[in-house]
Amino acid sequence: MHNLALEREWESEHELMDVTPRCPKCGSAHIEARNLARRFGGAIGAIAGTTSGAALALAGAEVGLVAGPLGAVLGGVAGVVIEAIVGGAAGCAAGSRLGDAIDRNILHNRQCGACGYRFSDKS
């Protein structure tokens, strides 16, 4: 079920790369992708991922405090930085992916550069 969904998504992305989108109103090939939700999702995901990653690392530092003050300082600082970076990157990727799906399925993601007509990829 999950694998099938991923394959279908890959196929639709592959199609988008091969087929030049054209405006359904005037037929112009000068089409711009707006990707509003994708950008928004990436930013939100990065913030959420960084915050949750840092929170996890801080919880780990509290455990380290019981084990020893030196370990808490060293482990805590390194842990916060690493967890925040990993969490931010993962959150950004997840948010971008989610936003991309929203762009393609819900919003009118394409805009014609010739006449300004907005339409979705699936139309």
Q: Which residues bind Zn ion (CB under 5 A)?
A: 23, 25-26, 28, 112, 114-115, 117
- Closest approach of Zn ion to the CB of residue 31, in Å: 8
In terms of CB distance, is 40 or 119 closer to Zn ion? 119
- Closest approach of Zn ion to the CB of residue 54, in Å: 46
In terms of CB distance, is 3 or 20 closer to Zn ion? 20
Contact 97, 42 (CB under 8 A): no
In terms of CB distance, is 26 or 81 closer to Zn ion? 26
Contact 26, 105 (CB under 8 A): no
- Closest approach of Zn ion to the CB of residue 29, in Å: 10
117: which residues sit within 8 A by CB, 6+ positions away?
23, 24, 25, 26, 111
- Closest approach of Zn ion to the CB of residue 105, in Å: 22
**Can you tell me the distance from the alpha carbon of 27 to that of 31, in angstroms, rounded to the nearest whole number?**
10
Centroid of chain to Cα 52? 16
In terms of CB distance, is 59 or 120 closer to Zn ion? 120
Looking up tokens 């993601």, which residue turns up? Answer: 109
**Token digits of residue 108:** 């009118």
